[in-house]
């Protein structure tokens, strides 16, 4: 069977969707990280639209995978990143555009939660 542009788009879209679901990331979250609309990303995942090389690079970076894994037939394995790294990327994507005062509030809230956890005998769960 010949490899066509359409078959590559479909394969890539399936791989992107599989990776996104595997890390429990919504299409909205991934679209935000890629600076795309969820609707357009949905078209990419369904193989109905192509994707630019810079966005392929971003997706590979988000999922910590080699770019060629986007074209894989689903049988190939590669080194996966720990879920904590993925969570950090999700958080970074969510707070990247927040004003400084909001970031200060978030940091103060985290410190307050840590103090409460230690005070209630739960230890430091965040270290």
Residues 14 and 75 in one domain: yes
The sign of the dihedral angle between the CA atoms of 30, 88, 93, 65 is: negative
Residues 45 and 59 in one domain: yes
Look-up: residue for tokens 């555009």? 97
Which pTM value belongs to this model?
0.60
Residues 86 and 112 in one domain: no
Q: Which domain holds residue 120?
A: 98-127
99/39 Cα distance (integer angstroms)? 27
Residues 92 and 102 in one domain: no
For 21-67, write each residue's pLDDT tens digit: 988 899 999 999 899 999 999 999 999 998 888 899 889 888 888 88
pLDDT band at 16 (very low <50, low <70, confident <90, very high): very high
Look-up: residue for tokens 């394995």? 77
For 57-105, write each residue's pLDDT tens digit: 889 888 888 888 888 876 555 555 555 666 677 777 777 778 888 888 8
94/38 Cα distance (integer angstroms)? 15
Q: Which tokens belong to 55? A: 């966005």
Residues 91 and 111 in one domain: no
Residues 85 and 103 in one domain: no
Cβ neighbour number for residue 13 with a 10 Å cutoff: 22
């Amino acid at each position: 069977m010949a490899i066509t542009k359409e078959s590559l788009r479909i394969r890539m879209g399936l791989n992107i969707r599989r990776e996104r679901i595997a890390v429990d990331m919504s299409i909205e979250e991934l679209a935000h990280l890629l600076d795309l609309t969820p609707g357009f990303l949905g078209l990419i995942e369904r193989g109905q639209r192509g994707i630019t090389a810079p966005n392929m690079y971003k997706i590979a970076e988000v999922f910590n995978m080699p770019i060629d894994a986007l074209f894989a037939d689903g049988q190939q394995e590669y080194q996966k990143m720990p879920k904590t790294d993925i969570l950090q990327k999700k958080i970074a994507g969510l707070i990247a555009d927040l004003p400084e005062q909001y970031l200060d509030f978030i940091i103060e809230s985290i410190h307050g939660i840590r103090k409460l956890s230690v005070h209630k005998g739960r230890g430091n769960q965040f270290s």
